[in-house]
A and B are shown apart, each in its own frame.
Chain A
Amino acid sequence: MNLDRFFDIPSDLQHSWAGLIGLHLREALLPVLAGLLLALPLAQLCVRFRWLYPPVLGVTTVLYAVPSLAFFVVLIDYTGQTELTVMIPLAVYSLVVLVPAIVDGVRSVPQETLAAATAMGIGPVRRYLQVQLPIAVPAIMAGLRVATVSSISLVSVGALIGNQGALGNLLAAAQKYDRPELALNSVLTTAALAIVCDALLVLLRVALTPWMPSGRRPKTAPRQRPVPQGVTR
């Protein structure tokens, strides 16, 4: 291993080290954002119609169990060897964490609080936006942390479809040029990104919820993330 060439990224990756980090963050975070936008209405439907929750949960879990490689094979016919092909499965995977987190969060709002809101003449839409959602923030943020960290670790798999794996591409390059320091770089940088993003989300949560007793965990923890399956994860 030649640590002097730790940051010497092969030119065929078309990015500097910092460039790879930017690309990695984009490929990891945009899917989580998309997943959140999708999960919010989905979770609200599950809260409103209770019977919908078990099937939705089942479907998201099954989708999570589909290996990303299988997704790529299907998607590549439509979206080609692009970032999008990597990001779509990641967005789908994030649902398995985000939907239950939001549902549990919204359901954790005490009955008395809801009754009080109704009795004050607060309509259902306003009640959702001004009461239920803000009180669900700690649970949602807990879900976002798991989804974000998982997404950051999963982006690397994009290396399989023609250099779309951002920092993951370093793994392929390490093999190709027999330069193990690139693999080390990939692993360490990905881990650091995950830790930094997680810490930022914790700070965001604290900033968003001055009303939470400090030092106490959110009441509703997100569901345990299922054990990953598939080749490269």
Chain B
Amino acid sequence: MSETVNPTLPIIRTVAVDKSFGSVEALRSVSLEIEQGKFFTLVGPSGCGKTTLLRVMAGFEQPTRGQVFIDGKSMEGVPANKRPTNMVFQSYAVFPHMNVGENIAYGLRSKKTPADRIATLVAEALEMVGLAGYQNRPSHALSGGQRQRVALARALVLKPKVLLLDEPLSALDKKLREQMQSELRNLQRNVGITFVLVTHDQEEALTMSDQIAVIFGGEIAQVASPEILYRRPNSREVADFVGVMNFLNVSVLSEHGTRRRVEVEGLGIVEIEEDQAPRGLVGDIVAGVRPEQFTILFEDRASADRCCSGTVTEIQYFGDMTYYAAKLEGCDKTVTISMRNTAGRRTLGPGDKADIGWRSESVLILS
């Protein structure tokens, strides 16, 4: 199926999709374009509507209003079994009364693929997910990670235009989850099929995706690449959801063309470029600084362009990183600072005074 894809069109386009369940609005005017061949992630807190959006794409839910186009064709009235999408379910949905080979052959049988062709395709699919030779394994004898791979192979063997993944990694333990994250990423690059992943884990979204859509309360908050999303979140909510952000009170001093001067609590007067304030300086604004944009200056103060002082109140040691909570001098704010534990660097303890370095381009103005 995938060879007929038109590369210039977005593979999935949703136009003002609303979805209500009774009086509950799960999706509100969701318009998205997903590019062909990309790893696209829908991320948001639980109950934000991301799974509903995925199910609307798969055809398990019909939008209340709005339209979904897949590969340029309207999906209105097209049932799930006629759509060029396949899904990996959160519970994996491996058929318990069939062995691994039968599970993977399921969709091929549905399409009346000849038996010898099925055998080859199943073997290839199993090899692709690292389960070569598992054809006759009964499905109840599989571990969580293996179930996941069977579910993946079962969907990919049909060569869908889009693979939809509904929180596929949430049931795995941390080590296996991290391994599967990179495997999924590599698999997506190798097969070139568009992946749409749903997750509540923002870290997972950042490490795996080409593009991320952040969803809050049924609405798209921001669509961006992982780097942009992290460095330039467009709202306070997004900044808070993706990674850790220190929020400091801010007041506007002057605004002349592109030169904006603001006073940030604990940091002093800062000059802001236009892209550091994506929504301007109006309304209820706040300054945000990421923990790694602060540096505790152990010896030379010259390496940072701005500097302030603080007192360490708490430390959290992660092995490779140390997270400090430090109370800034001259105000009541405590900020989080992350430091890499590079060779020879000591760690501070609670009560220690610290010089904290930062740069003016690290400050974001959010509303």
Q: Do A and B come from the same complex?
A: no
